[in-house]
Amino acid sequence: ADDLDDLLDEVESKFCCSTSKSKQSAYNLKQTDHRCTSPQHKKQSRKQESKGTENDDIDAMLQEILEDDCQCCPVFLGGSSVQHGVGTSVSQRACNQLRCTSCDFRVAMFDDHEWDPSCDYLFLRNNMPDYHKLRAKLKRRKGGRAYACQCSWHTAHALSDLRAQDRLKWVCGKHKA
């Protein structure tokens, strides 16, 4: 168990720079300033925390899960017949909180539409997010869903994984809990 704790401490210090959230109560999480601490300090605090009751730990973890904003993993796109919301590998829903990491725009969605083949970067750059201007390049298409930010566009007809679309730099912008 100590080897596992040491490994976790090493990973946290190199990549996370925060204390382990799963081992702290919700109150303690709000009180800490999430700065990196030494592995010895983490090990000592982990031993003190393990003295608490198991039920308190479970309650704190459940409360943390309920308070956190949710993020899709993996992120899915889909046509208008695909339900949208928080997508997981089990509940495959199209994400409706997409954000572009390239132009930092929220991705707009238009149900029962598709993009005209003449749609281009300059058109979106000049007209996003005004729907009345975008209508010039949107065509009605039952079952389709047109997605666009200021630099990219995509039409989806069925559920598809966003990772399969290499040119799209979109991520889930988190869903409110």
| Cα distance between residue 174 and residue 21, in whole Å | 19
Residue identified by tokens 């000049």 is 126
The answer to whether residue 21 scores a pLDDT higher than 50 is no
Model pLDDT, residue 146: 97
Which helix (H) or strand (E) segment holds residue 3: the answer is helix 2-11
The answer to whether residue 134 scores a pLDDT higher than 60 is yes
| 17 Cα distance to chain centroid | 20
Model pLDDT, residue 47: 53
Higher pLDDT among residues 139 and 54, named by residue = 139
Instruction: Tell me if residue 160 falls in helix, strand or coil.
Output: strand
Model pLDDT, residue 81: 93
Mean pLDDT of 85-113: 93
The answer to whether residue 156 scores a pLDDT higher than 70 is yes
The tens digit of pLDDT for each residue in 25-83 reads 444 444 444 444 455 555 555 555 555 566 677 777 766 665 667 888 899 999 999 99
Q: Which residues pair with 139 in a beta bridge?
A: 114
Model pLDDT, residue 26: 41
The answer to whether residue 96 scores a pLDDT higher than 70 is yes
Name the average pLDDT for the chain. Answer: 80
Higher pLDDT among residues 10 and 127, named by residue = 127
Sign for the pseudo-dihedral over CA of 145, 100, 175, 66: positive
Instruction: With cut-offs at 50, 70 and 90, classify the pLDDT of residue 24.
Output: very low
| Cα distance between residue 137 and residue 124, in whole Å | 10
